[in-house]
Every structure is written in C-alpha cells, then in structure tokens.
Amino acid sequence: MLRVRFAPSPTGYLHIGSARTFLFNWLYVRHNHGTLILRLDDTDVERNTQQSVDSIFDGLNWLGLGWDEYYQQSQRLEIHRQMTQAIFAKGLAYRDFTAASSGDEENNREGGAWLFNPSARDMPRTESDRRAAAGEPFVIRFRVPREPVQDIRFDDAVYGPQSKSTADMEDFALMRSNGMPTYHMASCADDVDLKISHIIRGQDHTSNTFKHVLIFEALGAERPTFAHLPLLIAPDGSKLSKRKHGPAVSVTTYRDAGFLPHAYLNFICLLGWSPKDDREQMTRQELTDAFSFDGINRANATVNFTEEDPFDPKAVWLNAELIRQMPLDELSTELLPFARAAGFAAEPDKMRQVTPLIQERIRLLRDVATVADFFFIERLPPFDKSELIPQKGDAAMALAALLRASEILSTTEFNHQALDTALRAGAQDMKIKPGQMFQPIRVAVCGRKNAPPLFETLEVLGRGTCLNRIGEAIRMLS
RNA sequence: GGCGCUAUCGUCUAACGGUUAGGACAGAGCCCUCUCAAGGCUUAAAUACGGGUUCGAUUCCCGUUAGCGCUACCA
C-alpha cells in the first residue's frame, strides 16, 4: 500500500517551496493510486501559531488538491514518547544532562563538527537513572554507532545512492529536556506509525535522512523510500525567505493577485520537474499521468522575481494563457470579485459583457481593475486633452471628429457592426483616416489611448455614456 | 571549519557517448491591425574551468571553482 505524507510545520505562511512539495506528493500518490496524508508537524510549541495554521489551510484549499487523512503531531506525543523509550531501552540512546549550548561556540569548530559529550555518552546507567530520578533535566540523544565507524546508506529515488560515515554524525537529540520530541524523532515515529511508504520532501533534508535511517533501524521498522527534491531559490541564489524576499514566497500573494490555481500549480510543477517532451501547459490530469521521479531534476531551481514584480514571468504567461482559454461565463465569474475589490459597482451582467473585451488583455485577474475601469466608473479620471489629438492631426481635427461622432452616435443603432459602418463612413466623408477618427473617440470614451476594440467598447458602454463622455471631451477642446 | 549535494542560453528545461546542443518564458525585429492586446514569422542567447577515459564527451572519471544544504534541546 502506497502512503505518502506532506508535513508542514506551522511557523509561517504556506511557502512556494512547500506548495511544490505538496504538489509532487499529490501527483505521485494520484499517479500511483495511494493515500496522501497531511500531517501538521507542530512539535515546536514556541514557534507555532494559529495564524500560520490558518494560512497553510488557506493556501492548500486554494490549490484545491485535497488529501485523504489528516493528523497533528502535537496530539500524538504519546506515540513519540513510547518509541523514544523503546530506543532508550535498547541502549541505543542515552541521557545527556549537559545544559543546552548557547550557540556561541560557532567559531571553535576548526577541527570538525561536535559529535558528543563523552561524559554523557559513557555515563553508567545507574548514575543516569539516579540523576533522572532526582529531577535533573536531560535530553535523550541517539547513540550513533562509532566503534567501528560505519557508512549509513540509502538509495534516493531522485539523487541515487547516498552514504555518510557515522564519524561525521553527531549524537543528535531525540527528546528535549522539556519532554517534547525533536523533529527527527517525532517525524520518524509518525512515519513508522502511519506506515508511510515514500517520503517526498525538500533536499534540505537529505543530510537529516542519515539520522532518520538510524532511527528507523533502531525502531526495527522498515525504512520508506526517500525522494528528495531540488530546492527553490531566489534570483540572487539564496534560499527563499520571508524576511529577505517578502511576499514573493507566499502562496496567498499569487492567489490575491489573481492567479488561477491551476496556472500556479502548472508553474511550480515545472520548477525542477519536466515531462521531457517539451510540453509546458498541461492539465492536472496530464501532469498526473506524466509525473514520475525520473523527471525530477537534481539542481536547484530559481524562481525569477524582482523587487518591483514578485511574479515569475513564466507563471504570469501560464496564467494569461489559461485566462484566454477559459469559457467566458467562468472567467466573468472569477473576475467579478476582483472588480468589486477594486471598488467598482460591478453587476454580473455588465461583467459578462465586458469579459470578452478584456479576456486577451489581462494576465492576472486583478488586471481587471486597470484594464476595464472605464466600463464601471461613472466619471472618467482627468486626462490630458492632447491625448485626444490623432496622429498627424491637430485639435481642430479632433474636435471635428468628435462633433461628427456625436451626431453619428445619436442616430446609429448601438451595435458594433452598425457603429463600425457608420463611423468609417463618417471618416471617409471628412476625408480623414479611420484611425484619426477613432482615436479621439476612444480617448474621449475610455480616457486613454490603449483600450479594447472601439465599436464593441461603445456598444457595451451604451449610447448615453458615450454621448456624455464625448460631450465632455468636446468641452475640453472648445 | 567538517560532511553532503549540485553545475546546459538571463530564467525554467531537453538531448539512454555521435545533434547545425532542441523547446518555452523574457528580450529584439518584421507582419497583421482603429489603439492596446492576441496571433504569425524571424532573430540573438548556453554546455563553469582544467585534466583524463574514448575514434568521439553536455553526457563517464578526477581535480579546481562557485552555489546550496546539514552541522540546535528549529523544522
């Protein structure tokens, strides 16, 4: 039975790297028809926050992938304690009464890493028991095998055979002096108890895996298959962090900007994985069908963002592509909340009329605020009247064009074909180019030069609004 | 410092030892066109460096360099 888990720790918002780890777990388990477990690794009482738990669920729910089973580590402490006790009872772990180091000894490491405190590791069991019984605080450390030194090995499904000498491994802690299990212990205990068959996680855990292998063995449990993923890094090569890179690393930033969940998924899936056949835009089903560990790259992937623009251009492109392919009704529904958030009194009917005009002009859903504003607001924001003057024309030409347009628009039927015919005929009468006729009208009606096609725009705006705005522009020029 | 991992266009990536080193995004140019988009076409752009092995290395081996990770009673 194939069982995988995604185990975020609630110490911050849902990170883009975590989202990708979740996605890869999801794809693997759906491809192979297994069970996906969501486990909140919340044993660090000091740093966990409810806000963070909420934000993780926010992000995961937005992605819309779902999971099959849910656990919280903090409610499974008894299991962790029992398993730690079992290791201790076998003599594979020992108590260390040394006070926690303050971390100041960073500098005196020239000779190599700290491995263990001999006085603790070699302390007779009777003395250890006596001091524990006296209430003296201690941590429980794993007794890493040293005589003889051995190589710990595992076969990574992505990186291949890995090995590390126990001479380079410190006696890591399993249980803190406050009685809480460490990450290593809790994680492995739960993986054993939940019968996890594949651990798919970030490559930052590769070095930890040697410790985990030792724990699995000490527990007499079969070790799962490990698959480590390359990390996601910032353009400057450093690892993505909230403090340094801001909202660019948070999943909800993408959601709030108007990314479609699938565009985001498609994007992060391509970071460190490839179907190897040049496909990029893929549906969820196609991704599921194509996913395997073989397609995972071993080098870290850079998420390409800047201080001005927190979004990778490829993610934006993928989103724009998806927007263009969406059925209009669906897109219109998605757009509505973004229009309202921009302060527009947008009605569904109006939104539905506007949608086809902006579909291929927006890249993010929030672009509705800047691209379609003039459809929804009562009064256009002020603009420079020189905008009204067409190419190779002057203010007189603009004025004449607007006066003529005003006449035409008051009599012509308000649909884009009729408007097209009538306005072109008007331009011909005036002996000016169609473009010279259209620009003043467009600016008068939209408040700027760059806008959707003119006749459709006029149609959606309606005769009254068009005439009012053109009248306003005529006053500006007079 | 120690240990581990990694290295192809600016970015994401393809190339089971033999290719004019391919694709995509971003960039540049042209076309289309009522503006903006969208679309079409074209273009520039990479195997980190040095040694091997081989008839032949992007590909295998070694070294250098660089980056990242771990080196906590964080996860």
Chain segment A277-290, per-residue pLDDT in tens? 999 999 999 999 99
**pLDDT at A239 (0 to 100):** 82
Burial class (CB in 10 A: 0-12, 13-18, 19+), A278: exposed
Q: Which token pair is A362?
A: 């927006």
**φ and ψ at A178, to 5 degrees?**
-90, 5
Q: Which token pair is A309?
A: 């623009």
Q: Is the CB of A205 under 7 A from strand B?
A: yes
Burial class (CB in 10 A: 0-12, 13-18, 19+), A304: middle
**pLDDT at A31 (0 to 100):** 97
Residue A333's contacts (CB-CB under 8 Å, 6 or more residues apart) are: A348
B6 C1' closest Cα residue: A299
Q: Is the CB of A449 under 7 A from strand B?
A: yes
Chain segment A265-275, per-residue pLDDT in tens? 999 999 999 99
DSSP β-bridge partners for residue A228:
A201
Task: Indicate the pLDDT class of residue A107, thresholds 50, 70 and 90.
Answer: very low
> What is the rounded CA–CA span in Å between residue A215 and residue A93?
10
- Give this prediction's pTM: 0.94
Ordered DSSP codes for A325-378: HS-HHHHHHHHHHHHHHTT----HHHHHHHHHHHGGG-SSGGGHHHHSHHHH-S
**Chain A 369-388 residues whose Cβ is under 7 Å from strand B:** none
Q: Is the CB of A159 under 7 A from strand B?
A: yes
**pLDDT at A114 (0 to 100):** 84
Q: Give the sign of the dihedral formed by CA A212, CA A215, CA A217, CA A219.
A: negative
B35 C1' closest Cα residue: A450
Q: What is the mean pLDDT of chain A?
A: 93
The nucleotide closest to A181 (CA, C1' atoms): B73
* Element counts in chain A: helices (H) and strands (E): 21, 12
> What is the rounded CA–CA span in Å between residue A477 and residue A473?
6
For strand B, the positions having any atom within 7 A of a protein Cβ are 1-8, 10-15, 22-26, 34-39, 67-75
Chain segment A307-366, per-residue pLDDT in tens? 889 999 999 999 999 999 999 999 999 999 999 999 999 999 999 999 999 999 999 999
Query: Under CATH, which architecture does the A326-376 domain have?
Result: Orthogonal Bundle (1.10)
Helix (H, G, I), strand (E, B) or coil at A324: helix
- CA-to-C1' distance for A112 and B3, Å? 9
Please give the biggest Cα pair distance in chain A.
Answer: 109
Query: What's the topology of domain A3-67+230-317?
Result: Rossmann fold (3.40.50)
The nucleotide closest to A175 (CA, C1' atoms): B73
Q: What angle do CA A136, A93, A193 make, to 5 degrees?
A: 110
Q: Is the CB of A172 under 7 A from strand B?
A: yes
ipTM above 0.85 for this complex: yes
Strands of the sheet with A139-142, listed across from one edge: A93-96, A139-142, A173-175
Q: What is the DSSP letter of A439?
A: H
> What is the rounded CA–CA span in Å between residue A314 and residue A287?
17
What number is the average pLDDT over the span A194-205? 96
What would the CATH number be for the domain defined by A385-477?
1.10.10.350
Residue A355's contacts (CB-CB under 8 Å, 6 or more residues apart) are: A328, A331, A332, A335
> What is the rounded CA–CA span in Å between residue A250 and residue A232?
13
> What is the rounded CA–CA span in Å between residue A107 and residue A143?
25
Q: Which token pair is A157?
A: 């499904």
> A276: left (phi > 0), else alpha (psi -120 to 50), else beta?
left
Least Cα distance to A123 among A90, A89, A94 occurs for A94
Cis peptide before A434 (omega within 30 of 0): no
Q: Is the CB of A43 under 7 A from strand B?
A: yes
**Chain A 55-114 residues whose Cβ is under 7 Å from strand B:** 98-101, 103, 109-114
Q: Is the CB of A47 under 7 A from strand B?
A: yes
Chain segment A146-166, per-residue pLDDT in tens? 988 999 999 999 999 999 999
Q: Is the CB of A184 under 7 A from strand B?
A: yes
Query: Under CATH, which architecture does the A75-184 domain have?
Result: Alpha-Beta Complex (3.90)
Whole-number percent of chain A with pLDDT over 90: 87
Ordered DSSP codes for A17-49: HHHHHHHHHHHHHHHTT-EEEEEE----TTT--
Q: Is the CB of A170 under 7 A from strand B?
A: yes
DSSP β-bridge partners for residue A301:
A232
Q: Which token pair is A184?
A: 């290593």
Task: Indicate the pLDDT class of residue A110, thresholds 50, 70 and 90.
Answer: low
Q: What angle do CA A241, A3, A33 make, to 5 degrees?
A: 105
**pLDDT at A248 (0 to 100):** 86
**φ and ψ at A125, to 5 degrees?**
-60, -35
Q: Is the CB of A322 under 7 A from strand B?
A: no
- The residue ranges of every structural domain in chain A are 3-67+230-317, 75-184, 326-376, 385-477
Least Cα distance to A51 among A6, A9, A13 occurs for A13
The nucleotide closest to A238 (CA, C1' atoms): B68
Cβ atoms < 10 Å from Cβ of A258: 22
